[in-house]
Amino acid sequence: MASHRKPRTRVTRVRTTAPALGITTAAIASVGLLAQSAGAAPAAPTAPQPTVEEVQKKVDALYRQAGTATQQYNLAKEATDQQRKSVDGLLDAVADRTGKLNEARRKLGNYAAAQYRSGAVTPTAALLLADSPQAYFDQNRLMDRMTERQRMDVTDFEKQQTEAAKKRAEATRSLESLTESQATLKSSKQDVQRKLAEARDLLSRLSAREKARLAELEKKREAEARRKAEAKAKAEAEAEARAEAEAERRREQAQADESGTEAGTGTGSGADTGTTPGTGTGTGTGTGTGTGTGTDAYAAKAEKVLAFARAQIGKPYVWGAAGPSSFDCSGLTQGAWKAAGVDLPRTTWDQVNVGTRVATDNLKPGDLVFFYDDISHVGIYIGGGKMIHAPKPGAYVREESIYYMPIYGSVRPA
């Protein structure tokens, strides 16, 4: 019998734990990733950026090194120029000797040709085929058969041959030396360019704020150098005032001595006769002294030096340049003293050995002031603790305190 009951509907319950399973799986994956990260090597730390002060010191050092390399370049260039002139002269001498040798050979050839036309190969012809003419003609019988003129021509030929060989060997040595100097010149040039490029690269990495900070540090250094220059200017003015006062005192003393002193005595007696005999004497003495510094001639030269240097203010510094449109430091000093009729060497290393060494306290206008332990920079003293110099790449010839850089020493060129 069929059942009339309603079929029971099966209810499917949804498990509430399913989402929890998904979260757990993700968490497990995350833990695994964290574990892998923990086991991996830590990232390399980023190198600390240099401070502005460190950049300033580094750039200054690079400019100084570039200055040293510039002096090395100048030295190599000077040697190269001199050797090139020497080589040119030797090559001219070789050409001259070769011409004389060919002329001597031509004369001997004429003798050989004449004897060949006569029908035989004579001793003179054999001479031309021999390795050593003198060795061949040392045979007495052959020498006896030669005329005196022929002997003279043979002697001349050997002389020209020897001299030509000597000049060729000398020219070869000079060419080798020139090649070495040119290699040094090239190396020095590359060194300068490398140092300057490194300095520019360091400066280009600075931010606007860092560049402002660098400019501030530069101003402080300039202010300190200016303060020292002002102190020296004051000391120089006081010393000059004392010297003038002393000179005035000596002039007054000399005038007093020149006026001398006068002394006189007199006696007399009289009688009724109306006669009055008398005697009188007088003496006077005077002395005068004078001293001079003997610097008038130097002052005249220094005036020309400073006039030249001032005329170059505003022209750019270019390493290896000696005018007229640009200068490096030693090129400027060389040109300035040349205007006064004094020839200075090209490099700071040679200029420091010219003339007389003077102390900083005794500097006079026109003196050369050298800087750094390696003597890689030089300026022209103008008085008042200041100088005119060609500072560095990117700068122009200008006046500046001598205390801006560490002083090595000073010289008076003439």
DSSP state of 362: G
- Pull the structure tokens for residue 92: 């001219």
Residue pair 305/340 in contact (Cβ under 8 Å)? The answer is yes
- Pull the structure tokens for residue 263: 């002394």
Residue pair 154/137 in contact (Cβ under 8 Å)? The answer is yes
Q: How many CB atoms lie within 10 A of CB 324?
A: 10
Known catalytic membership, residue 389: yes
Residue pair 384/327 in contact (Cβ under 8 Å)? The answer is no
List residues bridging with 265 in a β-sheet. Answer: 281
Write down the catalytic residue from 77, 195, 377, 412: 377
Write down the catalytic residue from 346, 386, 389, 392: 389
- What secondary structure does DSSP assign to 109-135, as a single string? HHHHHHHHHTTS--HHHHHHHSS-HHH
Write down the catalytic residue from 62, 225, 329, 388: 329
Cα separation, 406 vs 389, whole angstroms: 15
Cα separation, 130 vs 121, whole angstroms: 13
Query: How far is C-alpha 166 from the chain's CA centre?
Result: 36
Q: Tokens 């002389």 belong to which residue?
A: 159
Known catalytic membership, residue 290: no
Known catalytic membership, residue 371: no
- Pull the structure tokens for residue 149: 């003129």
The residues carrying an active-site annotation are 329, 377, 389
